[in-house]
Amino acid sequence: MRKGRFQQAPSSLLKTYSESISFDWRLYRHDIRGSIAHARALMNAGILTASEFEKIEAGLREIEAEIASATFPFDVELEDVHMNIEAELTRRIGDAGAKLHTARSRNDQVALDLRLYLRDEIRALGDLIAAFQRALVGLAERYSDSLMPGYTHLQRAQPVFASHHLLAYVEMASRDCDRLKDCEKRLDQMPLGSGAIAGSTIVLDREAMARELGFSTVTQNSMDAVSDRDFACEFLATLAILGMHLSRLGEDFILWSSTEFGFVELSDRHTTGSSLMPQKKNPDIAELTRGKTGRLYGNLVALLTVMKGLPLAYNRDMQEDKEAIFDSVDTAKAALQVFTEMIDGATFLEDRAAQATADPALLATDLAERLVLGGVPFRKSHEIVGRLVSTASRRGIPLNELDPSEFVAAAPMLTEEVLRDTFNARKALSARKAPGAPSPGNVSQRLAHWRKVLK
């Protein structure tokens, strides 16, 4: 690149500071795939002969195999994956290799590589999310009838089935998949042929290249095509939200596996010990994922910050997109894989959870709703039951152990029969039949739905 315009060799500091081959080598498969499509378009435009195209394709396939087997000699002097591959190709096959970059810039080349790479990773992540969902559904099925307290403000709120709680995360993961699919739609435009900024006087069949590379359409503005990283920002945002969901689930498992809660036991294979305290069994997987979510957030903010002040079109700042993308991909994939294993190996401690669910205060809302069904306005019934809860709390007794006469005095319809019926968690859950509520029938239907979707 420097032989024509430059009279001096680059500073060694410049070479070290600007190289990207140490990380963008990961794009080699996509770079080679794009180069073969580009070479075919050059042949069809009469720039390459059929023989030259065959040499280019064979040479690129040979280089691809060497990179895959870790025997290819990457050279930091050549800056990036594009120049490393092109220079070696030219060394091996001569002038035909030197013709490959006709009507192409590294600007549209890397824009293509990133789209191809992210398309592959979106599909791989979708498979990992589905496996994660299957693990959650499996655990929910094993304990489909187990009761536990549901929480708001980390205070016991109302009874739910453990399966209903776990299925909440299956729903979240489903939205993560949907966001990935949406992101794939917006990166489904092929930028190759846009050149550095304004295309080329050598007109290639961009639609044919798009078909070969599996894109449904081509970009319509060369300046936007080479400078667009919206799709990368959207991808990183999707992984940040996925990380948020994993972090929340991790927090639940951290709490549930503590002595104070005691609802879950994680397997020995997915916990660690203490270097000092022999009794410890720590939920490090959940804690690490909770921490690594910060990396996913940071990578998104980093790329948004890189892009926010850039004039059109390409600027070298945009080289910073790759490490953020690669790190988020690696982090999300590792977290999904290890969480799937952790969930598969977890045991729900039903007796401890049922004991916590036996607190009659969890059914205070049900008691208020019984009054509503008797014609009492909800705000009044809320006040009545609130006073009863306060009285039981002052006396240090469970709500259902107040004297029956006190319930009747508060509201005549609160007979002993009504109280027995109300202070029954399973009956209370059976009454919650509205779509989305945790009745046994609803939970069973949702488990069946996810089994069908995820099989």
Percentage helix, strand, coil for the chain under 3-state DSSP, each rounded to 5: 65, 5, 25
Would you call 228 exposed, middle or buried from its count of C-beta atoms within 10 A (0-12, 13-18, 19+)? buried
What SS3 state is found at 412? coil
51 is catalytic: no
In angstroms, the Cα distances linking 114 to 78, 229, 373 are 19, 9, 60
How large is the angle between the packed helices 81-93 and 50-68, nearest 10 degrees?
120
User: How far is the C-alpha of 405 from the C-alpha of 195, rounded, in Å?
Assistant: 85
The catalytic residue among 274, 390, 393, 430 is: 274
Active site residue 274: yes
Half-sphere exposure of 57 (CA within 13 A, CB side): 15
- How many whole angstroms separate alpha carbon 358 and alpha carbon 336? 34
In the 8-state DSSP scheme, what is residue 434?
S
**What's the Cα-to-Cα distance from 171 to each of 78, 174, 176, 256, 281, rounded to whole Å?**
47, 5, 9, 20, 30
Active site amino acids: 153, 274
